[in-house]
């Protein structure tokens, strides 16, 4: 039996006495009796979300948050399945729809303020209650991506979707990784339709109530949505709300739906020196704390899929455990190349070097980093945020392995403490990357992944397949392409001059620190 308190944060360890997210759990900071299902790929998640939204009726409640939103993104690929159309139909059926969309930095800085605003405008005109939320730290964002659906007359159908997938272009890719038919440009290496690897979860059971509480705390925050008077005037002219409308009374938690133990981990920054965020005075850093506690239990394998995995802060979480446990291995799957072009890429490469090179030096032969490519040889953009520790602790969320995600932006991750769930998630992801999905379909996961059942066996299988594919590329791609999608991650070769100037933009822009001054100085979370 796994003792939850050994792996998960207690209420005191969360470090946020002002939140209500654990109010129903006593000294615990988790719920039991849940059923969680990983939804691998945007196409899988979007289909599940579409079907769940279409099944809502009068009196039901839909709550969603979004970092990037494109109202015309088709959830199923078919006309009429656009995000704005599906949510608007729900509203017309009598479903109560509330949304928190990050206002975003300006388009000229590489973000998407116009698209996010358009999503809010379209939904507001059709009856939904949507806020453009800029209650963030300077240079920060609301990065949470989740949807809550509550059914007035049948709480057994309640569901929450938590993970890293926005309701936006590029996300509706599948296991073929040929890209979303509705693309958005990334760096040139990714082509016209960037292949996109991502993961979301579907949660049923009492934890749905906890996810709903996360939304309610943000919605009911009395902090002004924006402190810029010109933005408030523009919102009023466009018919956008400038303050939150009252939410309906929160219903009791749904009944038990399974046997999964679920903990929600979050990040909120120290906003205005602890004067804002009444639900997180001084911020919350349970994402960083949760990883740190779970990694201290690791003995065999930590498996990570992440968009970034960079910085000294990330390396420190793993260093001591890698030294203490000579049998511990670490596998990291991240994008082969960053999403930025040109000189903007250098700080991100330095961030990778700070984490991965450092850990390889600590544990030679036990730390491996890979990227992914599709069958055509195009890099796959790894946007997933997944961590599996010793087939026991498995987290999927919006947070990346970076100081920004751990201290500076708002984040939400769902951790499941269940050996069968964690093991199946790890093997399913490995089956895709090793090109064994057909074998899984023919004979089942266990049979297809026999050499990976042992965690260290998967470490070796990844290394073997990546080496074969690398040799094929180096040899001029003669003969049949070896199976697998894993490429050895090229470590950055930065010049002395680049290493001199890149730390400043890395630490101030790409990977800033949102902790209170006392915690920064003590280097604690």
Res. 381: pLDDT tops 80: yes
Pair 239, 342 in one domain: no
Pair 298, 169 in one domain: no
pLDDT confidence bin for 234, thresholds 50/70/90: confident
Give the pLDDT of residue 107.
58
Residue 123 falls within a domain, yes or no? yes
Give the pLDDT of residue 192.
96
Go through 427-453 and write b for each residue having 16 or more CB atoms within 10 A of its CB, e for each that does not: bbbbbbbbbbeeebeeeebeebbeebe
β-pairing verdict for 411-417 and 393-397:
antiparallel
Structure tokens at 473: 């590329």
Pair 207, 350 in one domain: no
Q: Taking the mean position of all CA atoms in its chain, how far away is CA 188?
A: 24
506 within 8 A of 348, measured Cβ to Cβ: yes
3-state secondary structure of 252: coil
**Environment class of residue 478 by beta-carbon count within 10 Å: exposed (0-12), middle (13-18) or buried (19+)?**
exposed
Res. 378: pLDDT tops 60: yes
Structure tokens at 495: 């010049």
> In whole numbers, what is the pLDDT of the chain averaged over residues?
95
Percent of the chain with pLDDT over 70: 98
Give the pLDDT of residue 106.
64
Of the given ranges (28-32, 51-55, 125-129, 161-165), which has the lowest mean pLDDT? 125-129
Give the pLDDT of residue 437.
97
DSSP lists the bridge partners of residue 371 as: 487
Of the given ranges (4-13, 269-278, 289-298, 431-440), which has the lowest mean pLDDT? 269-278
Find the mean pLDDT for residues 64-86. Answer: 96
Q: pLDDT tens across 271-306, in order?
A: 987 778 999 999 999 999 999 999 999 999 999 999
Give the pLDDT of residue 508.
94
Pair 103, 215 in one domain: yes
Residue 16 falls within a domain, yes or no? no
Report how far residue 128's alpha carbon sits from residue 452's, in angstroms, rounded to the nearest whole number: 47
Pair 242, 374 in one domain: no
330 within 8 A of 304, measured Cβ to Cβ: yes
Pair 352, 493 in one domain: yes
Measured CA to CA in angstroms, residue 362 lies from 48, 358, 402, 465 at distances of 42, 6, 19, 24
Residue 269 falls within a domain, yes or no? no
Percent of the chain with pLDDT over 90: 87
Report how far residue 524's alpha carbon sits from residue 518's, in angstroms, rounded to the nearest whole number: 9
Looking at per-residue confidence, does 191 or 272 come out higher? 191
Number of domains in the chain: 2
Pair 68, 149 in one domain: yes
Find the mean pLDDT for residues 396-403. Answer: 98
Residue 314 falls within a domain, yes or no? yes
Res. 155: pLDDT tops 70: yes
pLDDT confidence bin for 524, thresholds 50/70/90: very high
0.75 surpassed by pTM: yes
Pair 340, 394 in one domain: yes
Of the given ranges (23-27, 101-105, 209-213, 219-223), which has the lowest mean pLDDT? 101-105
Res. 311: pLDDT tops 70: yes
Q: What is the DSSP string of 504-524?
A: HHIIIIIS---S-HHHHHHT-
Res. 263: pLDDT tops 70: yes
3-state secondary structure of 415: strand
Res. 233: pLDDT tops 80: no
238 membership: H or E segment, kind and range: helix 229-238
Pair 294, 241 in one domain: no
Residue 253 falls within a domain, yes or no? no
Structure tokens at 411: 């984040």
Residue 136 falls within a domain, yes or no? yes
Pair 360, 468 in one domain: yes
Residue 19 falls within a domain, yes or no? no
3-state secondary structure of 160: strand
Find the mean pLDDT for residues 497-507. Answer: 96
Report how far residue 464's alpha carbon sits from residue 452's, in angstroms, rounded to the nearest whole number: 12
CATH number at residue 86: 3.30.870.10
**Environment class of residue 479 by beta-carbon count within 10 Å: exposed (0-12), middle (13-18) or buried (19+)?**
exposed
Give the pLDDT of residue 111.
67
The residue segments making up the domain with residue 514 are 284-522
Residue 31 falls within a domain, yes or no? no
Looking at per-residue confidence, does 302 or 228 come out higher? 302
Res. 109: pLDDT tops 60: no
**Environment class of residue 323 by beta-carbon count within 10 Å: exposed (0-12), middle (13-18) or buried (19+)?**
exposed
8 within 8 A of 290, measured Cβ to Cβ: yes
Pair 48, 166 in one domain: yes
Pair 222, 341 in one domain: no
């Amino acid at each position: 039996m796994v003792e939850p308190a050994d792996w998960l944060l207690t209420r005191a360890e969360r470090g946020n006495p002002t939140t209500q997210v654990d109010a129903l759990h006593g000294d615990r900071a988790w719920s039991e009796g849940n059923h969680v299902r990983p939804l691998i790929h945007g196409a899988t998640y979007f289909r599940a979300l579409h079907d769940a939204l279409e099944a809502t009726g009068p009196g039901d409640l839909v709550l969603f948050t979004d970092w990037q939103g494109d109202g015309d993104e088709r959830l199923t690929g078919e006309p009429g399945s656009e995000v704005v159309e599906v949510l608007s139909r729900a509203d017309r059926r009598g479903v109560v729809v509330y949304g928190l969309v990050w206002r975003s930095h300006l388009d000229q800085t590489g973000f998407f303020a116009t698209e996010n605003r358009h999503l809010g405008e379209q939904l507001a005109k059709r009856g939904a209650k949507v806020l453009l939320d800029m209650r963030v730290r300077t240079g920060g964002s609301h990065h949470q991506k989740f949807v809550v659906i509550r059914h007035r007359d049948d709480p057994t159908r309640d569901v929450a979707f938590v993970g890293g997938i926005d309701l936006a272009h590029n996300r509706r890719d599948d296991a073929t990784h040929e890209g979303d038919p509705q693309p958005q440009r990334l760096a040139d290496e990714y082509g016209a339709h960037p292949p996109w690897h991502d993961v979301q979860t579907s949660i049923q059971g009492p934890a749905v109530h906890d996810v709903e509480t996360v939304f309610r705390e943000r919605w009911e925050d009395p902090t002004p949505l924006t402190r810029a008077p010109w933005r408030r005037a523009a919102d009023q002219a466009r018919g956008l709300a400038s303050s939150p409308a009252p939410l309906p009374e929160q219903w009791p938690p749904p009944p038990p739906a399974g046997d999964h133990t679920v903990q929600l981990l979050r990040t909120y920054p120290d906003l205005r020196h602890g004067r804002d965020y009444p639900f997180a005075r001084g911020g919350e850093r349970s994402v960083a704390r949760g990883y740190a506690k779970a990694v201290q239990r690791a003995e065999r394998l930590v498996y990570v899929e992440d968009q970034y995995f960079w910085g000294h802060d990330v390396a420190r979480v793993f260093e001591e455990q890698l030294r203490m446990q000579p049998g511990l291995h670490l596998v990291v799957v991240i994008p082969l190349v960053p999403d930025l072009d040109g000189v903007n890429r250098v700080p991100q490469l330095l961030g990778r070097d700070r984490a991965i090179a450092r850990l390889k030096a600590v544990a030679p032969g036990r730390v491996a980093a890979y990227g992914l490519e599709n069958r055509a040889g195009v890099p796959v953009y790894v946007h997933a945020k997944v961590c599996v520790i010793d087939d026991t602790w498995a987290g999927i969320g919006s947070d990346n392995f970076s100081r920004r995600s751990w201290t500076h932006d708002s984040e939400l991750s769902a951790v499941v403490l269940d050996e069968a769930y964690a093991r199946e998630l790890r093997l399913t992801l490995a089956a895709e990357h090793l090109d064994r999905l057909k074998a899984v379909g023919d004979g089942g996961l266990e049979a297809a992944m026999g050499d990976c059942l042992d965690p260290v066996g998967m470490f070796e299988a990844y290394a073997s397949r990546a080496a074969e594919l690398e040799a094929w590329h180096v040899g001029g791609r003669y003969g049949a392409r070896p199976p697998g999608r894993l490429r050895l991650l090229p470590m950055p070769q930065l010049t002395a001059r680049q290493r001199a100037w890149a730390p400043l933009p890395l630490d101030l822009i790409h990977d800033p620190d949102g902790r209170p001054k006392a915690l920064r100085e003590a280097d604690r979370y």
